[in-house]
Structure 1
Amino acid sequence: MENIMHLPPMLVVAWYVPCALGGCTLATLGGLILHRIPGTVMMAITGLAIIVDSLLWALVPVGGNYWAWIFPAMICATISIDLIFNVANIFLSTALPARQQGLAGALSNVILQLSIALLLGFADIVVTATADRGERQSYKNAFWFELACGGAALVVFMGFVRIDSAKSDLTADEKEAQKASEARDGDFADKP
């Protein structure tokens, strides 16, 4: 936005406000949404949001209108990162006992941060390798790379991952205790 659209830094900051507000909203309401919509659908929305976000950034003209190009791209970027993070955290933390939930949260966060770092490095390679085409085109190429990553994520999500909506079910600890209790009750029933 600063290098290609020649915007002042404070305007760029203002243009990022939807990301902050959307992130706070999705993080707060994520628990309510996850009980109503299956995780697989949420991941499909994430993949589609990545695709729309990258398309908007790749195609935005130099003097592109904020409301037509930037605002929807910011909203889609927020949706993509926040939904997948919520789904991954809820899925991992509810699947493990309390003693391992901190590990699950850490694993989810590490995977997210490592994937961002890795793919950001690849995007930088794309920008550097196409620098001879001009700064604007090399940035566009990075967004086309993002589009390819979003498409690949959508294929993986839809083809190989199945997550139901979050349920008010027993925790992993409670299920473990219930099995132990049933085993004890079964032992007592077998004795004369």
Structure 2
Amino acid sequence: MENIMHVPPMLLVAWYIPFAVGGCTLASLGGLVLHRVPGTVMMALTGVAIIISSLLFALVPLHANSPYWAWVFPAMICATIAIDLIFNVANIFLSTALPARQQGLAGALSNVLLQLSIALLLGFADIVVSRTAHQGERQSYKNAFWLELACGGAALVIFMAFVRIDKAKSDLTADEKEAQEAAEQK
């Protein structure tokens, strides 16, 4: 946004405020939603949000009258939805599926997978940008957003084809189920 749209740094900081506010809101309210909506639906919403966000960033016109409200703001909201929903779903699914003694490991695994994925795909995006630099800076950045769109589409297909997560339930914890099975075997 600074290099292509020539947005001043302080205005760019203001443009990122919805990203931060949305992230805090979704992280706080995510647990409440997971009891009402199946995790599979939340993951589908994540995939769609990634696709919309990358599409908006890839197609944002350079000289629009109001590129922020029409293009950047909705893209930021969708990006926030994408990252926070999948993080909440993964953490809650992993932590409720394991006993208390392994929940720290589950949270660490979830966080490590997220951070490694971001680092790896950011590296791929940088390769796309550097390998297409001859097309001009704006087009090479657009190419990175097209890569993001492809990754979001692939994630959506994988989520819908192979992953099933029900609504979060106030069921027995993994420890309680383990204790119940041990009592039944006696």
TM-score over 0.5 for the alignment?
yes
2:147 is matched with which residue?
145
TM-score of the aligned structures, taking structure 2 as reference length: 0.98
Supply the distance in 1 between the matched residues of 2:13 and 2:111 (Cα, whole angstroms). 25
Structure 2 segments unaligned to the other structure (5+ residues):
none
Amino acid in the other structure paired with 2:52: V
> How well do the aligned residues superpose, as a CA RMSD in angstroms?
0.5
The alignment of Structure 1 onto Structure 2 pairs a total of residues equal to 184
Supply the distance in 1 between the matched residues of 2:80 and 2:31 (Cα, whole angstroms). 16
TM-score of the aligned structures, taking structure 1 as reference length: 0.95
Supply the distance in 1 between the matched residues of 2:155 and 2:11 (Cα, whole angstroms). 32
Amino acid in the other structure paired with 1:56: L
| Identical pairs, percent | 83
Supply the distance in 1 between the matched residues of 2:23 and 2:160 (Cα, whole angstroms). 24
Q: Which has the larger radius of gyration?
A: 1
2:28 is matched with which residue?
28
Measure how far apart 1:62 and its partner are.
Answer: 1.1
2:183 is matched with which residue?
181
Measure how far apart 1:114 and its partner are.
Answer: 0.3
Residues 55-114 of structure 1 deviation map (CA, whole Å, 9 limit, x = unaligned) = 000000113321100000000000000000000000000000000000000000000000
The equivalences for 1:106-121 within 5 A come to 106-121=108-123
The equivalences for 1:1-192 within 5 A come to 1-64=1-64, 65-184=67-186
Runs of 4+ in 1 over 6 A off after TM superposition: none
Structure 1 segments unaligned to the other structure (5+ residues):
185-192
Amino acid in the other structure paired with 1:163: I
Residues 97-140 of structure 1 deviation map (CA, whole Å, 9 limit, x = unaligned) = 00000000000000000000000000000000000000000000
Supply the distance in 2 between the matched residues of 1:141 and 1:182 (Cα, whole angstroms). 59
